Amino acid sequence: MSITSILEKSNKKMSPADKVSAIAKLVKGYRKLYGNTEAEINFAPINTVNGCSDIRFMSDKEKLAAAKVEVKAIINSIQTAVINEAPINKEMEVARLVAMSPFFTNIATTEAISV
């Protein structure tokens, strides 16, 4: 299973919380593959329709919407490297980009705010 497949329509049976949990599990595997499981990767602001947000305060549905954007950015980065004929291993490049992503490495972190 891939992050893309979790986000696709075929997984409508999964709740947003289950999807975030499944993505976090995949990210853990990518980090192990890349070798940075012990590295602390700080939060980064996420651009949303409501301005910059901190992933800790986003709902699971908001995280999934942002994950789709992040996946597209990773795919575009790899496509650009291929177009520029960079000698890359696509699978390892995916692992590197996901393992170093402040968004994906912190996707399971949550802090509630009540209003």
Q: Look at the chain and report how many structural domains it folds into.
A: 1
- CB neighbour list of residue 35: distance below 8 Å, 6 or more residues apart: none
Confidence of residue 29 (pLDDT cuts 50, 70, 90): very high
R_g of the chain, CA atoms, integer Å: 14
The answer to whether position 68 is within a domain reads: yes
- Residues 65-111 have pLDDT tens digits of 999 999 999 999 999 988 988 788 888 899 999 999 999 999 998 87
pLDDT band per the 50, 70, 90 thresholds, residue 27? very high
Whether 57 contacts 111, CB under 8 Å: yes
Contact 7, 64 (CB under 8 A): yes
Instruction: Please tell me what DSSP assigns to residue 58.
Output: S
Is 110 contained in some domain? no
Q: Which domain holds residue 73?
A: 3-105
pTM of the model as a whole: 0.87
- pLDDT 10s digits, 40-58: 998 888 887 878 888 888 8
The answer to whether residue 11 sits within a structural domain is yes
- Domain presence at residue 115: no
Query: Does 111 map to a domain?
Result: no
Is the residue at 89 inside a domain?
yes
